[in-house]
């Protein structure tokens, strides 16, 4: 089960790193972050409230939760958050010290160019 999540995480990392690779170009969506978040430790805590609380730290809202990547309640959660007021870098800085946030990555737009 964790292999699927790791595979998805590797794809995100690979897409992020291809910005300078010939044949690829990448821009980011300003004000958006892809987060990997530890699952709630309190079984009585509503998952959506938990994720919204994390997003609020970055003055953001949850846009999408990628449920297919979290097959068990113990798997980390992958979600996209968006802020209308903060830059991507400002959002990441606000989430940097939160131990629930395992990773924060800019939402990259990757385009594959034709070979010359």
Interval 3-59: pLDDT, tens: 455 555 555 555 555 444 445 556 888 899 999 999 998 878 889 999 999 999 999
Q: What does 36-52 look like in DSSP terms, one character per residue?
A: EEPPPS-TTS-HHHHHH
Mean pLDDT of 58-83: 90
Between 3 and 91, where is the model more confident?
A: 91
Share of the chain above pLDDT 90, in %: 49
| Separation CA 80–CA 60 (nearest Å) | 10
**Chain-wide mean pLDDT for the chain?**
81
Report how far apart, in Å, the C-alpha atoms of 113 and of each of 16, 22, 109 are: 16, 8, 13
The domain over range 29-108 is classified in CATH as 3.40.50: no
Report how far apart, in Å, the C-alpha atoms of 73 and of each of 38, 68, 79 are: 10, 12, 15
């Amino acid at each position: 089960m964790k292999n699927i999540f790791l595979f998805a995480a590797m794809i995100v990392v690979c897409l992020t790193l291809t910005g300078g690779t010939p044949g690829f170009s990448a821009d980011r969506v300003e004000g958006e972050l892809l987060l990997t978040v530890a699952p709630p430790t309190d079984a009585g805590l509503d998952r959506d409230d938990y994720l919204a609380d994390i997003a609020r730290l970055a003055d953001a809202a949850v846009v999408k939760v990628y449920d297919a990547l979290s097959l068990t309640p113990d798997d980390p959660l992958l979600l996209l958050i968006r802020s209308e007021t903060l830059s991507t870098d400002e959002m990441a800085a606000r989430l940097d010290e939160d131990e629930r946030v395992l990773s924060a990555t800019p939402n990259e737009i990757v385009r594959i160019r034709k070979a010359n």
